[in-house]
């Protein structure tokens, strides 16, 4: 999971904890501290402002995935990998542009639609390989 403080402050009164500045998906123990701090302030806003599961889908997409509440989406994801893959498949199926980009193997468009247009700049800033490159490599590796 990855708690996103910038999304949280759009949904709830912003009262940041010092823990919010040290969280990061690669440090899950710190991520949970930041999430739990936000959850104590506003549970729904915290869950909506966090990406979860294998597909790292933001909680605010719960209605798009057919859930009545963000908590129901989280409860479903907690059941296991199958449910998380189902959520990812529904997320893709409900966006015709994303589905088309995947079918066309247009990894840049996939990355823009799935992770936001700033994915290249973010990758450079944090020293990671950009998502479009990672997806291309994974596709090439597993396509055969």
pLDDT in tens, 82-103: 999 999 999 999 999 999 999 9
For the chain, give every domain's residue range.
2-93, 96-143
DSSP structure class, residue 73: H
d(CA 105, CA 142): 13
| Prediction pTM value | 0.85
Residues 6+ apart with CB under 8 A from 8: 14, 38, 42, 45, 46, 49
If one counts every other C-beta atom within 10 angstroms of the C-beta of residue 50, the result is 25
pLDDT at 108 over 60: yes
If one counts every other C-beta atom within 10 angstroms of the C-beta of residue 57, the result is 22
pLDDT in tens, 39-56: 998 999 999 999 999 999
């Amino acid at each position: 999971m990855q708690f996103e403080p910038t999304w949280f402050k759009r949904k709830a009164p912003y009262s940041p904890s010092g823990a919010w500045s040290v969280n990061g998906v690669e440090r899950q123990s710190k991520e949970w501290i930041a999430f739990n701090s936000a959850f104590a302030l506003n549970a729904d806003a915290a869950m909506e402002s966090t990406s979860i599961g294998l597909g790292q889908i933001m909680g605010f997409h719960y209605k798009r995935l057919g859930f009545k509440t963000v908590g129901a989406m989280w409860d479903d994801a907690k059941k296991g990998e199958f449910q998380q893959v189902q959520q990812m498949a529904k997320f893709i199926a409900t966006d015709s542009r994303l589905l088309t980009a995947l079918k066309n193997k247009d990894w840049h468009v996939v990355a823009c639609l799935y992770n936001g247009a700033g994915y290249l700049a973010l990758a450079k800033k944090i020293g990671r390989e950009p998502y479009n490159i990672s997806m291309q490599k994974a596709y090439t590796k597993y396509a055969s």
